[in-house]
Amino acid sequence: MKKAETQARELIAEALMTTDKEIPLDIRFDQSERWDSLAHMRLILAIEESMGRSLVTREILEIESLASVANILAKNS
């Protein structure tokens, strides 16, 4: 698994208050009961903290899956 995907999985797990082993690679915002609006906000904050900057609106709107989080992280590295 790529570094950005691993980091994305860890951040999503943290936001959903679970372990990264419980996060499937195909997880999507609209298909997970645990990924509610509060978890989404925790994820945004976790991404911002890990990147050391605020996300722009476009990036926030793109967050819908593990792949999209990994893409944001990869672009920042």
CATH value at residue 20: 1.10.1200.10
Structural domains counted in the chain: 1
Grade residue 1 by pLDDT with cuts at 50, 70 and 90: low
7, 46 Cβ separation under 8 angstroms:
no
The candidate with the shortest Cα–Cα distance to 62, out of 8, 6, 17, is: 8
**What pTM did the predictor assign?**
0.92
38-61 pLDDT per residue, tens: 999 999 999 999 999 999 999 999
Q: Is the pLDDT of residue 35 over 90?
A: yes
Residue 42 domain boundaries: 3-76
Q: What is the mean pLDDT of the chain?
A: 95
